[in-house]
Structure 1
Amino acid sequence: MKIEVSVQPSEHQLQVISDGISAFNAPYLPNDGEFESGLRFAIMAQNEQGEYVGGLQASVVWSYCVLELLWLSEETRGQGVGSQLIEHLAAFAKEKQLTQIRTETLDFQAKPFYEKQGFKVYGEINDSPKGHKTYFLVKALA
């Protein structure tokens, strides 16, 4: 058996893994194919000069959305732009018939912001990264 680590996997390698897990999951998740699992997208915010001042990166996994990254420029924070990005994300996810949005944040990042947006903490890990706490959050989409 040969095992190798690939830091730049080919599309074929990624597809082999995706197809394999889909085949394994099929008896348990018969509707898995209804969603665009693997879809990655971004929602961007621009100022009047056309400069990017914020955005988020997300993906679809089974029937839910994973909010991977959310960034706002320093001067944009506190102006409601983050809330607008989350609103657009929720609308897009609902359009795709997804049931929830999941994300994670560190103790010095945006936990209170996410909670104001309707996210609930469902887990946490202490000292990860060292000296900090990671929170896992979920927002149900009605």
Structure 2
Amino acid sequence: MPISVERDPSEKDAGALSQGIIDFNKRHVPDLEEIADEVRFFVLAKDDAGTLQGGIRATCYWNTLHIELVWLDEAARGSGIGAELMSEAEDFARGHNCEKALVETTSWQAKPFYEKLGYALMATLPGRPKGYASHYLSKSLV
């Protein structure tokens, strides 16, 4: 069986791969929500001039809020805006039947910030990226 690494597979192959895992998951968890039911959203903070000061990119699926990206402008840090953004994201997620939240952060980023908001460390992966660590945290939303 030939094996290949492809950076731009055909739509047919990409679709078959996705459908394969969808079908496998459905056999094991019949009421699992469809990938198409994922809810991608952003929570944004802008100043009075409309300039972006920070925000969150996230997805709700499998009853879980997945915080993908959080950024705050240097001037906005320490002002409480980050906590407000997270609260809005969590409220939005609760409205979409999320019971859990997950976030990944690195050792030079915001682990203490998430812990202050009630997120608990689940795992640390040292050496990712080299010389640092990635931290994985979760929180109950119920």
2:7: which partner in 1? Answer: 6
Between the aligned partners of 2:48 and 2:89, the Cα distance in structure 1 is 22
Structure 2: give runs of 5+ residues left out of the alignment.
Answer: none
Q: 1:11 deviation in Å?
A: 6.6
Q: 1:107 deviation in Å?
A: 1.0
1:74-85 map, 5 Å: 74-85=74-85
Q: Specify the code of the residue in structure 1 equivalent to 2:63.
A: S
Q: 1:108 deviation in Å?
A: 1.1
1:107 and 1:133 in contact (8 A); partners too: yes
Between the aligned partners of 1:97 and 1:80, the Cα distance in structure 2 is 26
Q: Does 1:141 align with 2:138?
A: no
Identity of aligned residues (%): 33
2:60 and 2:96 in contact (8 A); partners too: no
1:71: which partner in 2? Answer: 71
Cα deviation digits, residues 39-77 of structure 1 (max 9, x gap):
322111101111000011112332212111100000000
1:109: which partner in 2? Answer: 109
Q: 1:12 deviation in Å?
A: 6.1
Cα deviation digits, residues 88-140 of structure 1 (max 9, x gap):
11111100001111011111110000001110000001121111111100011
2:19: which partner in 1? Answer: 19
2:59 and 2:65 in contact (8 A); partners too: yes
Paired residues in the alignment total 141
TM-score (norm 2): 0.87
CA RMSD of aligned residues (A): 2.1
Distance of aligned partners of 1:4 and 1:134 in 2 relative to their CA distance in 1, 3 Å threshold: closer
Structure 1: give runs of 5+ residues left out of the alignment.
Answer: none
TM-score (norm 1): 0.87
Q: Specify the code of the residue in structure 1 equivalent to 2:137.
A: L
Partner of 1:86: helix, strand, or coil? Answer: helix
2:33 and 2:61 in contact (8 A); partners too: no
Q: Does 1:59 align with 2:55?
A: no
Between the aligned partners of 1:58 and 1:32, the Cα distance in structure 2 is 20
Between the aligned partners of 2:51 and 2:84, the Cα distance in structure 1 is 17
More divergent stretch after superposition (55-64 vs 69-78): 55-64
Distance of aligned partners of 1:13 and 1:119 in 2 relative to their CA distance in 1, 3 Å threshold: farther
2:26 and 2:32 in contact (8 A); partners too: yes
